[in-house]
Structure 1
Amino acid sequence: MTAAVTLTEAKLFLRVGHDAEDGLIATLIEAATARVAALTGGSVDGEAPAPVRLAVLRLTAAGFARGEGDDAARAEAEVAAWLAPYRRVRL
């Protein structure tokens, strides 16, 4: 299974051109992927649709912002709307 978002993709999205924070960014990608998987009730991989992959990137960016303003709350709201069509119904 391939990752939904690669380190290279995330660094481009974050506009990070150095390698000093690669470990942090990789951890944020992993955490964001787990969060999206929990929200959708399914696995998230490289075959995921664009809105799901974008949700991983957006949550990664919110984590990378390190609490600047209310970016985390905005990211959660954006992600919820993008993921709504992909949520599995649980009974």
Structure 2
Amino acid sequence: MADLVTLSEAKLYLRVDGNAEDNTIALLIAAASDAVRDVASDWDGEGTVPDRLKLACLARVAVAFDERTNVSPGTGELPMLTPLRKLEV
């Protein structure tokens, strides 16, 4: 599946110039996109990515980028994703 944000969007959000960190950021984007999709399971992946999913993905990327040893979700991310979560009962 396609990533939820582009490398350019992530670099702008992270305030990163140059391309020395591009491979790392691309890896973080892929992992964050998968993690966000896991929570927002009610989004069908069709059409434009909802802004709340993009922001949640960027938040995960930022936490992972700034704290290289921390893979926990970004603060405030879950409330953005919960409305797009399908609950299985």
TM-score, with structure 1 as normaliser: 0.81
Which residue matches 1:56? 57
Classify 1:40/1:24 alpha carbon distance in 2 versus 1 (closer, same or farther; 3 Å).
same
Query: What RMSD, in angstroms, separates the aligned Cα atoms of the two structures?
Result: 2.5
| Offset at residue 66 of structure 1 (A) | 2.0
TM-score, with structure 2 as normaliser: 0.83
Q: Provide structure 1 residue ranges, at least 5 long, that are not aligned to the other structure.
A: none
Note the alpha carbon deviations across 1:6-58, whole angstroms, 9 max, x for none.
00000000000010010000000000000001111255577121111100000
Contact 2:5–2:29 (Cα < 8 Å) also in 1: yes
Matched, 1:88 2:86: yes
Contact 2:59–2:77 (Cα < 8 Å) also in 1: yes
Q: Provide structure 2 residue ranges, at least 5 long, that are not aligned to the other structure.
A: none
Higher helix share: 1
- Paired residues for 1:8-47 under 5 Å: 8-41=8-41, 42=43, 44=45, 47=48
